[in-house]
Amino acid sequence: MKVAIIAPPYPLAEAPAPPLGASYVAAAFEAAGAEVVIFDYIVSQYTPDKLRKMLSSYKPDVVGATSVTMNFKMAAEIVTTAKKHDPSIITMMGGPHVSFDAAGALQNYPEIDMIVIGEGEETIKALMAVEMEADRWEKVEGIAFRRDDGIVFTKPRKLIADLDTLPLPARHLLPLSRYQALGFPISIITSRGCPYPCIFCQGRRMVGKKVRYRSPALVADEIEHILFYGMTRINVADDLFTANKERARKVCEEIQRRKLKFAWSAFARVNTVDREILEIMRDTGCDSVSFGIESGNQEMLDRIQKKITLDEARRAVKICKEVGILAHASFMVGLPGESPQSLHDTQKFADSLDIHYGYHFLAPFPGTTVREKVDEYDIDILTDDWDQYDANRAIVKTSKLSPEEITEFVAAFDKEINDEWENQVRRYKTGANTPEENLQVEGHFRTKLVYKLLSEDIIERFGRIDMASNRCKPEEALDLLCNKIQYLMNNNVYSIRKVLMDFIELGYIKFRQVGNTCVWCWTHNRNVDFL
């Protein structure tokens, strides 16, 4: 059986990691005996014609996609296009959004055949055991599908008790060199589950309130796999890496025992860290920790059931500074009962921490308590347009704040940052920056260039160069490629050449000659040749 997994488009400005969910799904299909590819449209351009060409070439029996709320509609449209291209294809979707809105997805998108609810690995194994035959789906736990004029929900599937039984994510199917070109970290999980009942979060319902842990040895095995691919920065994407400090310490000790060297970051809660755990995390390469503090008003924290105090937040940040770990805090605006005073309290508290912080707008995702019990809170949800659920705009209001007022609060914060950035760019042009500030400006514009190279398939579109001679030297082919890209993008040729030279040296882009044609291609990853 041939399976194509879709990684749908996701904004590069949101710093996406190589898609972990899609990698786990692909690994589950491979373990069950399927032939699998991943169509990754995060780091390459998506068009319906491109999809149809890929489908015609690969001829999958099954097409599946996983998504979050903000890119659900695009993922559903891609699956719809696949079904219309070949109605014999079995189409399926999974992920947090459809797990809590399976009926809506099936009703609004008739080309989706099946929804996988919750954790998908064991469900995939069961579906493969019945050979994906539709008349046997009712025997498979954890799915929803249409039958006659209705929707069938099969028996809910229990959470996977032993995470060590899962195969490692199928990262070998991802275009890792493209992610390496972006410079974003690669994600792993060492556990699933979160014991805290925050009303705005899907995680507790998606993966359970009881934390299930992977063994430190298998976590270290996976890290070794990642390092083999040349990735040197990892983000531990657990809902809560420090849920159990003793177990987190054992993971760090296994990393130390194997002498693994890499930089990493993690998500934590301010009430689950202490000096001891932060020190051993630092000693194994952890250089930053992100805390979701959410509000600087204690009454708001209690209302959203965050189960932390402002004093705990101050203490956690203080310890991070003392041990040499960069602390980052995120705050959420538009929470139930939000008022001008609570926003003022949040800004004052955030500034008092003297660390990097940012704001996100509340997005009441399907499956969250705040959405399902909205009548119990001082909040109104203004739209069900899932494209707007990106946490970058106000889609709610409270009795004391309009969406415009919530937006204005964040806009004022963003303006301060943007004004300082524009000043830094001006200083760069006049030579008044520090060397570190110059690196930041150059890195920013380099990143913008890489975004365009990836999102518009620039190398694929312009990497074939016809030469008059029988032999094409790589230097000549690179000059011609740079000139083509410069004409298209109006960028400085030197900047383009520098970026491409870096990518060639690192093995992300390679050159070959086919007859009288020179071809520049992205590699799959630097340890594997052309796709």
d(CA 40, CA 38): 6
pLDDT of residue 15: 87
What string of pLDDT tens digits covers the 531 residues of the chain?
999 999 999 999 898 999 999 999 999 999 999 999 999 999 999 999 999 999 999 999 999 999 999 999 999 999 999 999 999 999 999 999 999 999 999 999 999 999 999 999 999 999 999 999 999 999 999 999 999 989 999 999 999 999 999 999 999 999 999 999 999 999 999 999 999 999 999 988 899 999 999 999 999 999 999 999 999 999 999 999 999 999 999 999 999 999 999 999 999 999 999 999 999 999 999 999 999 999 999 999 999 999 999 999 999 999 999 999 999 999 999 999 999 999 999 999 999 999 999 999 999 999 999 999 999 999 999 999 999 999 999 999 999 999 999 999 999 999 999 999 999 999 999 999 999 999 999 999 899 999 999 999 999 999 888 776 556 777 888 888 888 888 777 777 778 999 999 999 999 999 888 777 888 999 986 554 433
By three-state DSSP, how is residue 479 classified?
A: helix
pLDDT of residue 170: 97
- DSSP letter for 354, please: T
pLDDT of residue 409: 98
- Nearest residue to 264 via CA among 190, 207, 202, 319: 190
Across the chain, how many H-helices and E-strands are there? Answer: 20, 21
d(CA 424, CA 433): 7
pLDDT of residue 529: 45
d(CA 433, CA 439): 10
Q: Is the pTM of this model over 0.85?
A: yes
CA distances from 159 to 97, 166, 201, 223 (A): 17, 12, 18, 24
By three-state DSSP, how is residue 286 classified?
A: strand
* Count of Cβ atoms closer than 10 Å to residue 380 Cβ: 12
pLDDT of residue 530: 38
d(CA 154, CA 158): 12
528, 178 contact by CB (below 8 A): no
| Lookup: tokens for 528 | 């594997």
What structural domains does the chain harbor?
A: 2-153 (3.40.50.280), 185-401 (3.20.20.70), 457-530 (no CATH)
pLDDT of residue 473: 76
- Residue 143 dihedral angles phi and psi, to the nearest 5°: -135, 165
Encoded amino acid at 417, one letter:
I
34, 103 contact by CB (below 8 A): no
- Nearest residue to 50 via CA among 449, 453, 460: 460
